[in-house]
Each structure stands twice: as C-alpha cells, then as structure tokens.
Amino acid sequence: MKRLSIILGGAAAIWLIAYVVRFREPQSELATLNQESRRYADDAVIATATNWDERALLDRGSPELVEAAENAVDLDTLFHKWSRLGRMTHYGGARGEAIVTNNSETGPNISALYVSSAKFEHGYAQIRIGLIKRADGWRVASFIVYPVASAAPPRSLDQLHFEGGPLPTRSAQM
C-alpha cells in the first residue's frame, strides 16, 4: 500500500510539473507572437499606406492574398480609392492580438488581426490588417481601409468612430 501511494504521488507530481510547463510555455510564446505580429502589422501598414504602395502590400502578402489580387480583387481600383486620402501624416499604431488555433489534421494555425487608425492629408481612416504566420514568417492575409468622413478632426485618433463602433481603447490592448 505504501508503495502504491509513492507511485501515485510521484505520478501526480510529474503530471503537475508537465501541466505547469505545458501551460506556462504557450503564454510566453503567445506574448512573443503578439510582439512579432504587432511589429509586422505596423511595418506593413506604414509601408503600404504612407504613399499607397501596392507593391509594398504584395511583397508582404500571403500566397492567398497575392492570388486574390491577381484573379479576384481589383487592387488598382482599391488603391486609387484609398489614395484620395493623400499621404499618411500620422499613424496611431496597431491594436489587436495573435491567435493560435489547433487543427488535429494540420497542426497549429497562427494568425493575427489588428486595427489601426491613421491621419492622412485629406482625412482619417481605420485600417484592418489580418496576418498569418507560415514557415517563412508573418505574411499579410487581408488589408482593408475604411475612410472616415469627418467635418471636424477628432481630439485624438482613438476617438474616431467607424462602422461597428469606435476603435478599441489602449486599455483593451494586449
């Protein structure tokens, strides 16, 4: 009986250590993914939207985004529409987070979704960027610009209201 108690106690201790290690490591990994993806999102938005550079977006695009741009989406029309905002003069930074989902057939899928606000020469916009992490690093999976018609400039970019409501506040950031 004493031997059984020792074996069960040892097994419980091993299980507890494995549990702690297993669930602590992904949290630190998720924090790293959030830092990496936020930095990538900021760089991609600035490179693309500062002067409305299609090539900057396509160079960072996932194969799916590039294929859509070649076959289904008229990027020239979108960039012409967005370029009416003029050159970006202030960028409010990306807010959002990375997400890890597990698929029993394909393994973990790592993606991120960010929203940012920006001031341009002729107005304001909300930019939503979706990212996906592949073997070669982060890639842009989606890029959408929502121009804002505003009679008076907001006190800060955080106060802009877009379809679906205001941007998340800085306190909601991860």
Q: What are the pLDDT digits (tens) for 83-140?
A: 999 999 999 999 999 998 888 887 788 999 999 999 999 999 999 999 999 888 999 9
The pTM for the full model equals: 0.72
The pLDDT of residue 148? 84
The pLDDT of residue 72? 80
Within 10 angstroms of residue 53's Cβ, the number of other Cβ atoms is 14
The pLDDT of residue 5? 55
2 — pLDDT class (breaks 50, 70, 90): low
For residue 111, give the nearest of 156, 151, 146, 64 by alpha carbon.
64
For residue 42, give the nearest of 116, 100, 123 by alpha carbon.
116
For residue 129, give the nearest of 81, 62, 33, 77 by alpha carbon.
62
The pLDDT of residue 136? 86
* Cα 120 to Cα 39, 89, 112, distances in angstroms: 21, 5, 25
Determine the average pLDDT of the residues in 11-29: 55
pLDDT, tens digit (0-9, with 9 covering 90-100), for 154-166: 555 555 544 444 4
Burial 66-104 (b: 16+ CB within 10 A, else e): beebeeeeeeeebbeebbebeebeebbbbbbbbeeeeee
For residue 129, give the nearest of 147, 110, 111 by alpha carbon.
111
CB 124 within 8 A of CB 150: yes
Determine the average pLDDT of the residues in 33-50: 95
Task: Tell which CATH classification among 3.30.70.141, 3.40.50.2300, 1.10.1660.10, 3.10.450.590 matches the domain 2-172.
Answer: 3.10.450.590
Q: Does 6 or 57 have the greater pLDDT score?
A: 57
pLDDT, tens digit (0-9, with 9 covering 90-100), for 43-87: 999 999 999 999 999 999 999 999 988 888 888 999 999 999 999
The pLDDT of residue 149? 67
User: Sign of torsion, CA 154 115 95 116?
Assistant: negative
